[in-house]
Amino acid sequence: MALHNWAYIYLSPQFSPEKNTISTRNEACKFTAIGIDFEEKERVIPIAQQLVKDGVQMIELCGGFGPLWIAKVSEALQHKVPVGSVAYGPEARKPMLDLLAPDFSSEK
């Protein structure tokens, strides 16, 4: 079986699946990217379940979900499709933490 439909679910400030979902395709494969707010990680489970119902064969999660959410999504899908994640090497962790730290500079 060839890959012909997969999805990536990512975390981004104030993103929602309703406003921040894109799909693209060619004659061989469809790709869907879905954004979720950092504070609403739990939404990933029903989204992943719907994706599988819609024929997605593989789901990749943003590294911000971490290994716990990979396991939760896999279990919720009864391991019907592979679920993995993007990972950054040790050299990128400090810059990523700095980038994702709360910005208090705009507070008065």
* Token digits of residue 14: 């104030």
Q: 5-100 is classed in which CATH architecture?
A: 3-Layer(aba) Sandwich (3.40)
pLDDT on residue 89? 80
pTM of the predicted structure, to 2 decimals: 0.86
pLDDT on residue 79? 97
The predicted-structure confidence for 8-54, as pLDDT tens digits, reads as follows 999 999 999 999 999 999 999 999 999 999 999 999 999 999 999 99
Q: Residue ranges per domain, the chain?
A: 5-100
The predicted-structure confidence for 41-97, as pLDDT tens digits, reads as follows 999 999 999 999 999 999 999 988 989 999 999 999 999 999 999 887 888 878 878
Residues 6+ apart with CB under 8 A from 35: 10, 11, 12, 15, 16, 17, 19, 20, 21
